[in-house]
Amino acid sequence: MEKLLLLGDEAIAQGAIDGGMSGIYAYPGTPSTEIMEFVHGSKIAEELNIHRLWSTNEKTAMESALGMSYAGKRSMVCFKHVGLNVAADAFVNASITGVNGGVIVVSADDPSMHSSQNEQDSRFYAKFTLIPILEPSNQQEAYDMAYYGFELSEMLNVPVMLRITTRLAHSRAGVQRKDMKKQNQLRLPSDPRQFVLLPAIARKNYKKLLGMQPAMEVESEKSPFNQYIDGANKKLGIIAAGLAFNYLMENYDNGKNPNPILKLSQYPLPEKQVAKLYNECDSILVLEDGAPLIEEMLKGFLNLGKPIHGRLDGAVPRDGELNPNIVAKALGMEIHEGQDVPDVVKNRPPSLCQGCGHSDVFLALNEVLLEYGAGRVFSDIGCYTLAALPPYNSINSCVDMGASITMAIGAADAGLVPAVSVIGDSTFTHSGMTGLLDAVNKNSPITVIISDNSTTGMTGGQTSAAHGRIYDICKGIGVDPEHLKILTPLKKNHEENVKILREELSYNGLSVLIPTRECIQTFARRKRSEKGESNE
Amino acid sequence: MKSDIILGGVGGQGILSIAAAIGLAALKNNLHLKQSEVHGMSQRGGDVQSHLRISSKPIASDLIPKGKADLIISVEPMEGLRYLPFLSNDGWLVTNITPFNNITDYPNIDDIMKQIKAFPNHIAIDADTIAKAAGSSRSSNIVMLGAASPFIDIPYEKLEEGIRQLFGKKGEELVNTNLKALKAGREFTEKNR
Ligand SMILES: Cc1ncc(C[n+]2csc(CCOP(=O)(O)OP(=O)(O)O)c2C)c(N)n1
Ligand code: SF4
């Protein structure tokens, strides 16, 4: 079969399609978004009618995937690492229910926080839920793991985590496809109570999960993704997990490694291989693109064994993503960098697009807030978060999706009145609606601005779950229609918008304002595609 | 053979079409390829880069190590300088000279040009003007590719094939404009290196 040039994300999507997936469930988030988008563009997925609509958030995605698994079919869930926090309740309990059809959970980590609030390492979640992790070192493995992961999940009766990081997600290389597998038939679980987690059943299921651990280890020992590569110099043995393996090999001319290497891409850790490396070598260097998970396990709390080097002893920086240079330094190699960046080069932070509706919202808000003083705007995550930067300097918080409304409630409870929250349409339906119900129930003295650009802008313009229905949702949740208003954020409406904002901020209760104007990027794309279609 | 190329620019300037054209040409030559891109937050008008690695042998890392790049192609003059730590001593800096000014403290262009000219192996080209003359200001990226092409170890004809494939779906006229842009860029470098 032909070789395809695919991003790591796309390789996962293709592998899952070829591996017999019946449905993919996801909420966008860099660096995971392109997995679902690839399935959207895939002709085969269309022909096979693979379920492929965006979910409202990561938890609904995880649960829907589990439902598909219950019905016997293979499903994949995709999100960025912080999405796993949102999905965590379902994710953790899915290891207790087990699966019927295979489930792969793709969690895309973002070490160095290129587009994220933190750099949490998803492997910890998989470790404490006692399920296997697949961590590809290249695009081909990403494909192979998605292809093979469903079977592994069905064999071990647990969801399998496929953990990637930004660099692999967004890097392209050639990928060899395999023959397509058939999708599973609709088939109920053989035990009708498998998914009923009443305490008595959950206790039984949990013991089963614990009993499965040796089988998971056996799979890791014989996994083609884990590889013991011998080397003559036993002073140092190297464990290279996932992508770290490539950075390591980059430093060896002609691919010849002087030290023994354990290439690690399937967990739980293969105990025999790790022990072999430990016993044969005087010391160990652990290279992992994320937190020091393996390193901590080997080192132990009291660090009584052989020297273990890595992020904890400074051989590798404690935070941030790996690269070939960091690995070279850890190996004690010399690096010949090019010239320094000249002083004339300035930072170029991202910014709101020229003419973005969010900017009109912040210009109006800034003007009204002059009367109340700064420090009272709780924002959320989306393009509008860029208003934290000059020239707006408008917002005072960005924590997690949905936190704008609820943090404003708490601050108002503490006496910061009025408090303002700014949230986007996609974030509002993701996890702002429940917070708004809290505000309605207490009639909190806050002004909620739902800046509705009819899209999920920050991640590239995916459909927004409640497109055109934000007003009705707010009304349904119980916002007083007197204080529920739609604005049009345009320069020419500035005075009018300032007036409305001023009125609502002075109201001692809950107001919801919905500035509504389409993102100019999605608008332009829509126009282009409409034009393109009419030419054909 | 091996070419390690860093592409630089500002989010929205479309550096990935340059990468795609080289990538397609590399595939036609049965070369190995890895290309790391920036998606997400920085695409919103921030600085963006792509590491493109082509080799006759398998490639390990998706990222180019510092000091190892053979070539920087930058569609914006300040952005090219940002990646100098990656460039090897005998590498080439090929940059457009039209600034993209979306920050308040954008430096004086003369100071930027001084730094570019201080670098021995450089090509500074007015890709926007040359693209316009070739038929479309939107093909300035392909002018940049043409200007960089003498430093990429892929036959010129394969790059042309890459362009044909990249723009083929959008019609013969666009293909020809871009082939012209590619040639104009290459001629500039041949005259000025
Ligand atoms: C839990 C979680 N999931 C996904 C993301 C990624 N993400 C950041 S912003 C955003 C979209 C925001 O859309 P919207 O609120 O409509 O604002 P816009 O960007 O369109 O202005 C997403 C999906 C995240 N940061 N956290
Ligand atoms: S992508 Fe859309 S929402 Fe985001 S800054 Fe640009 S115009 Fe605004």
- Tell me, what CATH number does A8's domain have? 3.40.50.970
Q: End of a domain among A222, A244, A276? A: A222
Peptide bond just before B120 cis, omega within 30 deg: no
Atom of ligand 1 nearest to the CA of A86: 1
Max Cα–Cα distance, chain B, nearest Å: 45
Ligand 2 center to residue A386 CA distance, Å? 10
Burial class from Cβ neighbours inside 10 Å (0-12, 13-18, 19+) for residue A491 reads: exposed
Ligand closest to the CA atom of residue A464:
1
Handedness of CA A91, A95, A98, A99 (dihedral sign): positive
Model confidence band, residue A2 (pLDDT cutoffs 50, 70, 90):
low
A362 closest CA partner among A393, A403, A330 = A393
Tokens read off for A155: 């064999």
The pLDDT of residue B12 is 83
Atom of ligand 1 nearest to the CA of A85: 1
Residue A35 and residue A144 in one domain: yes
Does A26 sit in the ligand 1 pocket, CB within 6 Å?
A: no
Do B61 and A246 count as a contact with CB atoms less than 8 A apart? yes
Minimum CA–CA partner of A28 in chain B: B40
Q: End of a domain among A164, A199, A222? A: A222
* pLDDT of A534 over the 50 cut: no
Model confidence band, residue A21 (pLDDT cutoffs 50, 70, 90):
very high
pLDDT by residue (tens digit) across A27-39?
999 999 999 999 9
CATH number of the domain where residue A238 is located? 3.40.50.920
The pLDDT of residue A532 is 66
Is there a domain that residue A336 lies in? no
Residue A280 and residue A199 in one domain: no
Residue A253 and residue A301 in one domain: yes
To the nearest whole Å, the CA of B44 is away from the closest chain A CA by 5
Sheet holding A160-165, edge to edge: A21-26, A74-80, A103-109, A160-165, A133-134, A266-267
* pLDDT of A535 over the 50 cut: no
A410 closest CA partner among A449, A440, A375, A444 = A444
ipTM for the complex? 0.94
List residues near ligand 2 (CB under 6 A).
A 352-353, 356, 358, 383, 453, 457, 519-521; B 44
Based on the structure, what is the number of domains in chain A? Answer: 3
Does A459 sit in the ligand 1 pocket, CB within 6 Å?
A: yes
Model confidence band, residue A528 (pLDDT cutoffs 50, 70, 90):
confident
Residue A384 and residue A497 in one domain: yes
Model confidence band, residue A536 (pLDDT cutoffs 50, 70, 90):
very low
A335: which chain B residues are within 8 Å (Cβ-Cβ)?
Answer: 65-67
* pLDDT of A97 over the 70 cut: yes
Residue A159 and residue A257 in one domain: no
Model confidence band, residue A238 (pLDDT cutoffs 50, 70, 90):
very high
Residue range of the domain that includes A464: 357-523
To the nearest whole Å, the CA of A34 is away from the closest chain B CA by 10
The pLDDT of residue B38 is 84
Q: Which one-letter DSSP state was computed for residue A171?
A: E
Minimum CA–CA partner of A346 in chain B: B106
B86: which chain A residues are within 8 Å (Cβ-Cβ)?
Answer: 338
The pLDDT of residue B27 is 85
Do A337 and B85 count as a contact with CB atoms less than 8 A apart? yes
The pLDDT of residue B18 is 93
Is there a domain that residue A405 lies in? yes
What percent of chain A shows pLDDT beyond 70? 99
Domain layout of chain B by residue ranges = 2-192
Ligand 2 center to residue A516 CA distance, Å? 13
Do A172 and B35 count as a contact with CB atoms less than 8 A apart? yes
Interface test with B, best of A247, A345, A522 (most B CBs within 10 A): A345
Residue A184 and residue A237 in one domain: no
What would the mean pLDDT of A518-525 be, rounded to a whole number? 94
Alpha-carbon span A159 to A104, nearest angstrom: 6
Is there a domain that residue A528 lies in? no
Q: Which amino acid is at A80?
A: K
Is there a domain that residue A340 lies in? no
DSSP structure string for A78-128: EEEHHHHHHHHHHHHHHHHH--SS-EEEEEEE-TT-SSSS----THHHHHH
Residue A370 and residue A497 in one domain: yes
* pLDDT of B85 over the 90 cut: yes
Tokens read off for B114: 């001084």
Residue A49 and residue A167 in one domain: yes
pLDDT by residue (tens digit) across A98-150?
999 999 999 999 999 999 999 999 999 999 999 999 999 999 999 999 999 99
The pLDDT of residue A1 is 63
Minimum CA–CA partner of B59 in chain A: A250
Alpha-carbon span A528 to A530, nearest angstrom: 5
A31: which chain B residues are within 8 Å (Cβ-Cβ)?
Answer: 39-40
B33 closest CA partner among B54, B47, B60 = B54
Residue A166 and residue A208 in one domain: yes
Ligand closest to the CA atom of residue A356:
2
Tokens read off for A439: 């505000």
Q: End of a domain among A197, A222, A247? A: A222
Q: What top-level class would CATH report for the domain B2-192?
A: alpha beta
Tally A–B CB contacts below 8 A.
155
Q: Answer yes or no: pTM beyond 0.95.
A: yes
Q: How many CA atoms lie within 13 A of A188 on its CB side?
A: 6
Do A325 and B106 count as a contact with CB atoms less than 8 A apart? no
Ramachandran angles phi, psi of A165, nearest 5°: -125, 165
Tokens read off for A339: 């010239």
- Residue for token digits 């890709």? B127
What would the mean pLDDT of B27-32 be, rounded to a whole number? 89
Give yes or no for A535 touching B (CB within 8 A): no
What would the mean pLDDT of B171-187 be, rounded to a whole number? 95
What would the mean pLDDT of A450-474 be, rounded to a whole number? 96
What would the mean pLDDT of A390-413 be, rounded to a whole number? 97
Minimum CA–CA partner of A172 in chain B: B35
Is there a domain that residue A530 lies in? no
